[in-house]
A = this chain, B = another copy of it.
Amino acid sequence: MKNLAFGLDIGGINTVFGLVDKDGEIIAESTISTAAYKLFEQYPSYVSDLCTAMKNMLASLDFEHQLVGIGISAPNANYRTGCISTPANLWKYMADGSPVALGNHNFNFVDDFRVHFPDIDTILLTNDANAATIGEMMFGNAKGMSDFIMITLGTGVGSGFVANGEMIYGHDGMAGEYGHVTVEHGGRVCGCGRRGCLETYTSATGVKRTVFALLADRTGPSVLRNIPYSEFDTKMVYDAALQGDAIALETFRFTGEMLGRALANVVTVTSPEAIILFGGLTKAGKFLLEPTSQYMEENMLFTYKRKVKLLTSGIQDKNVAVMGAAALVWQSI
């Protein structure tokens, strides 16, 4: 008899779900479209179709097994309530095309899953950064650590905080939004409606904005001058940096400076053993990590200097979203 947990990662385009054992091995994995259910009214069908697909996956296994729980990772997810409040990309339009106001509706995700899996006690939901954090703690480079910080550098910037061996969910279940710490008062406009958030500088989009600000500011040549804003991705900056392109190199230095300063600041709160960087941007390797580490140490209070390890994720080449969501279950039982 093999114990298995479902891990689900709900994204704006697809929902990936998989069965994961207690060592983090993904036994089976599949995908359904999230985007096909983009209307508010389609949410019940989405849940029902997803649960049917999950049950089919379980039924297809050719060995004895037991489902011990379901862990779900989603944007705007609240661990304490089990709800997703209207997220930016999901179920956001009414049938008449009018938008559902952001944050105005709570989808009772965990309760809705219970209807389909009445025998499963452990059904847990959290946001993608927290799921990645727990995945890292159970299966990755934070194994055995009681105090660490995870920073996810993707389209946006997410974060997860572990202290005393436990995930910090906060009073309302919404802790760990360090991507929205203000790093530059009156700085760049952010999708959250404020200015100067960390993610406007150190996400993939932030890097792109930095490139274009530098192209506007400087006069020197750069291969990046040949790429329209709309066709741009951060891989191009990395390739340009490899060729020694000055704009690309300065972009990573500046990104590392903003990130390093923000990390030096947050260390004063939880005094972690390590900060683990995760996500697409970390593929820039030393172009990003060296300035990040340099500015982090340069701005660090003496109490913490040279004490905090700066690491990259140990699991991000695997399907960490599914592993992380399943880790929610494994950690709780």
Contact = CB atoms under 8 A, between A and B. Distances in A.
A29 B190 CA distance: 54
A198 to B, nearest CB: 9
A137 interface: no
A109 interface: no
A169 interface: yes
B166 A164 contact: yes
A307 interface: yes
How many copies of this chain sit in the oligomeric assembly? 2
B268 A178 contact: yes
A261 B196 CA distance: 12
Interface string A303-324: 1100100000000000000000
B174 A168 contact: no
Interface residues of A, number: 44
A170 B163 contact: yes
A333 interface: no
Contacts of A265: 181-182
A301 interface: yes
Given A103-B302, A303-B174, A269 B182 contact: no
B146 A272 contact: no
Interface in A61-113: 103
A175 interface: yes
Contacts of A269: 159, 161, 168, 175-176, 178, 181, 266, 269-270
B261 A172 contact: no
A308 to B, nearest CB: 8
A134 to B, nearest CB: 14
A301 B192 contact: yes
9 contacts: A145-B171, A146-B171, A163-B175, A168-B271, A172-B273, A172-B307, A177-B304, A180-B301, A194-B299
Pairs A-B, 6 closest by C-beta atoms: A170-B271, A175-B271, A171-B273, A147-B171, A177-B268, A163-B168
Interface of A: 103, 145-148, 159, 161, 163-164, 166, 168-178, 180-182, 185, 192-194, 261, 264-266, 268-273, 299, 301-304, 307
Given A161-B270, A163-B168, A173-B271, 13 more contacts: A163-B166, A166-B166, A168-B270, A168-B271, A171-B272, A172-B273, A174-B303, A175-B268, A177-B268, A182-B299, A192-B301, A192-B302, A266-B269
